[in-house]
Amino acid sequence: MVPLLFTAGAGAQRSFKSTLARASVLAIAAALSWGAPAQAAFVDAVDDSGDSNTLLLADELSYDQDANTVTASGFVEIQRGARMLLADRIVYDRNKDVATATGNVSLTDANGTVFFFESIQVAGDLKEGLATEVRVLLSDKSRMASRQFRRNADGTSELDRAVYSACDSCEGETPLWQIKAGHVRYDPEAEMVYYNNAWVEFGGVPLFYTPYLAHPDPTAGPKSGLLLPTIGAGRNLGVSFKQPYYFHIDSDRDATLTPFLTTEAGKGAIGEYRQDFQEARVRVFGSLMAKDPDFKKDLRGHLDATARWDMSDYWRSGSDIRLATDRTYLRRYNFIAPTWLTSNIFAERFGSNSYFSANAYYFQRQRIASAIGTSSVPTVLPLLTYNYTGDPDSIGGYWTVDGNGLVLQREDGNTDTTRGSLRLGWNLPFKDGYGGDYKLRAGVRGDGYYVKDLVRPSKGDIYTGKAGRVVPEASLEWRMPFVSNALSFNQLLEPIVMGVISPIGGNSDSIPNEDSLDLEFDDTNLFSMQRFTGIDRVETGARVNYGLHYAAFNRSIGTVSAVFGQVYRFHADSVFTPQSGLSGHFSDYVGHVDLTPNAYVNLQYRFRFDKDSFVARRSELSAAVGPELFRVSSSYIFNKSNGTPSVPNSTEELYVALSSRFARNWSVVFSHRENLGFNGGSIRTDVGLTYEDECVVIGLDFANDNTQDRDFKKGLAVVLRLSMKTIGDIKFNTDVGAER
């Protein structure tokens, strides 16, 4: 028996039987128990609140014995759990076993969706119901309306002449976009919604028609079926069409297969498979295209696969496979196209004080070859790394161990390398009685090599054999922070001096340089014992790193931070080129300045100045200024080389971006990238205009790309973006212009 609570007005009749009252309330409360729409669908409104009490409030409650009806009138409110029904009048006909609610009828369900009816009828067994002039305010603020709603005995629900939109609109106004359907049917058992004779209207104009449309109930989770297609046109592919189909295989795995058709670049398919195991994850994505209709020649494609396996609390393994049949495939067919495709298989162990990893690498270049020839691209199998940091001893010192092993091979007979390296270090941080902060470090490193077919320019031969070195080193770093709070400023002035000693030499011609080619001297490694990123080259000899760190902040000026420093070497090391900024006794000056006075201004400047002329050798400037109404951001990169007079600058590039939200729903973005170096010119220009409100995003983008790579053509591209929120995205792409 359902517990029952009644509250009635003073004029309410109280002379009715309790069994009759129970029957009437159950029938009236039936409106709280049958299907309710969510998003563009309908969901069974099963009461999951665990509250079976029904509360009835009414100004008047009466029983007509002749008509055998129970009537609740006035301000009628029925609550059951998280659901509530409001109406001016509710009548329960015991003869027909039908409850009818009329007058300002509204129903709020457990998920926050509100329904408005002219009238509503529900059968006593709750299997059938009928409502007219239904209007729905969904929990995501989207709206739906229908002339008539029916709930059938088989549990399905039907709407006639239904309209759905996520747009706000005043009464009588046409929403910016809406979906109209002659008939909609919801099957709760199949968790599917079916549309007949559906139109997508934009601005009141029919844009797309389909006689049949189906999609899963938004609360049902993933279902197999067609996804939104993509249609495009451009110089590289001609007219292209993609139609993805999604396969929901199980709760832990799915797949997507996408036929890919083009008029200028053949046909094929894109595929993706994903699966989650209890301790592992797998994703495989790839494509295959061919100009030959029979797929017997001119095959092109790519593979992008990722796997991770958490073998235990300490061990993890995985792989990242990135492969393509040729260098322009990814760019031409609009896939992500990095400069290098790196394939990696690894295993690693995490300890409380240690880390170990084993890796294998394979590389594929995706741009035109420059200084590094195609034949010099290596395969690395394996690369072993071990790091250990000990616990502090009684005086605060701790030991470190760093190990490395490498086997690197090339298929064409160029240099092969096998390497083993081990470094043992001891570190002691301490302070003096005057506020000085010290760090003492000492260590010894040993490297052993076996090389094959190594070209030695100094000897004019090709060497195969063994090589090695032992490099002891020690350093002492001192910092003295001076802090001031005068003049309402919090200021820090910190001089830093670091002395390093190690034997001169150690970079023999018999040791190849595979991992230390990209040395970049800047403020981030100013106070490092070793500035090379890899192991094949070592920094040796006595040297002193010195600099000054300054920081200030308060509410008025925000934050200012700066570092400036230099390196002095007692012995010039030939391992450093003039371009590095570290050749000779004195290095170039390096540093950075960061300024953030408020939320609307951020400036950063990193630099390297020539030690003799103080001319900029490298400059990196970035700035972002302005509020959302009008914001300007910019970055400038300049690298000076000691090249020929005809090529004075190796890199000089400027990037500028302007953005403005000039109205509530309108914004514009402009960006331009320019090569300011030798034979420079425009790299890419983008202009985008966007309109966005609660239900739609419309964008028009122009991009002029002046890069060209073999069969990838440059020119102007125009993209029109249309996104209907809660429904999906439609994109119209076209490329305009000719090869220059």
Task: Say if strands 728-736 and 230-234 run parallel, antiparallel, or are unpaired.
Answer: parallel
Task: Say if strands 340-350 and 461-479 run parallel, antiparallel, or are unpaired.
Answer: unpaired
Q: How confident is the model at residue 219 (pLDDT cuts 50, 70, 90)?
A: low
Give me the DSSP letters along 299-324: EEEEEEEEEEEE-SSSEEEEEEEEEE
CA distance 392 to 399: 8
- The larger pLDDT score, comparing residue 682 to residue 425, is at 425
Query: Which residues, in sequence order, are CB contacts of 175 under 8 Å at separation 6+?
Result: 165, 167, 168, 169, 695
Burial of residue 629 (number of CB atoms within 10 Å: 0-12, 13-18, 19+): exposed
CA distance 434 to 478: 12
Cβ distance 264 to 276 under 8 Å? no
Q: What are 659's two structure tokens? A: 């953005």
- Name the residue type at position 544: V
CA distance 324 to 314: 34
- pLDDT of residue 163 exceeding 90, the answer is no
Which structural domains are found in the chain, ordered by start?
Answer: 4-186 (2.60.450.10), 222-367 (no CATH), 395-587 (no CATH)
Task: Say if strands 69-80 and 60-64 run parallel, antiparallel, or are unpaired.
Answer: antiparallel
DSSP state of 701: E
pLDDT at 171: 67
Average pLDDT, whole number, for the chain?
82
3-state SS class at 557:
coil
What is the dihedral angle through the alpha carbons of 130, 136, 139, 140, rounded to the nearest 10 degrees?
140
Query: Which residues, in sequence order, are CB contacts of 352 under 8 Å at separation 6+?
Result: none
Rank 262-276, 371-385, 675-689 by mean pLDDT and report only the highest.
262-276
Q: How confident is the model at residue 44 (pLDDT cuts 50, 70, 90)?
A: very low
CA distance 727 to 461: 68
pLDDT at 74: 87
pLDDT at 599: 84
Q: What are 737's two structure tokens? A: 């212009």
CA distance 417 to 8: 92
Q: How confident is the model at residue 110 (pLDDT cuts 50, 70, 90)?
A: low
Average pLDDT over residues 426-441: 95
Cβ distance 177 to 724 under 8 Å? yes
- Of 236, 396, 110, nearest to 737 by C-alpha is 236
CA distance 683 to 680: 9
Does residue 382 have a cis peptide bond before it, meaning omega lies within 30 degrees of 0? yes
- pLDDT of residue 632 exceeding 90, the answer is yes
SS (H, E, C) 11-71: CCCCCCCHHHHHHHHHHHHHHHCCCEEECCEEECCCCCCCCCCEEEEECEEEEECCCCEEE
Question: pLDDT tens across 472-513, in order?
Answer: 999 999 999 999 887 778 899 999 999 999 999 889 999 999
CA distance 175 to 201: 9
DSSP state of 396: S
Burial of residue 615 (number of CB atoms within 10 Å: 0-12, 13-18, 19+): exposed
Question: pLDDT tens across 342-392, in order?
Answer: 999 999 999 999 999 999 999 998 876 554 444 478 899 999 999 999 999
CA distance 640 to 648: 7
Q: Where do we find the tokens 């951001």?
A: 633
CA distance 247 to 681: 47
Question: pLDDT tens across 572-591, in order?
Answer: 888 898 888 998 899 999 99
- Of 626, 618, 573, 620, nearest to 599 by C-alpha is 626
Cβ distance 82 to 96 under 8 Å? no
CA distance 496 to 549: 8
- pLDDT of residue 471 exceeding 60, the answer is yes
Question: pLDDT tens across 527-558, in order?
Answer: 999 999 899 999 999 999 999 999 998 877 78
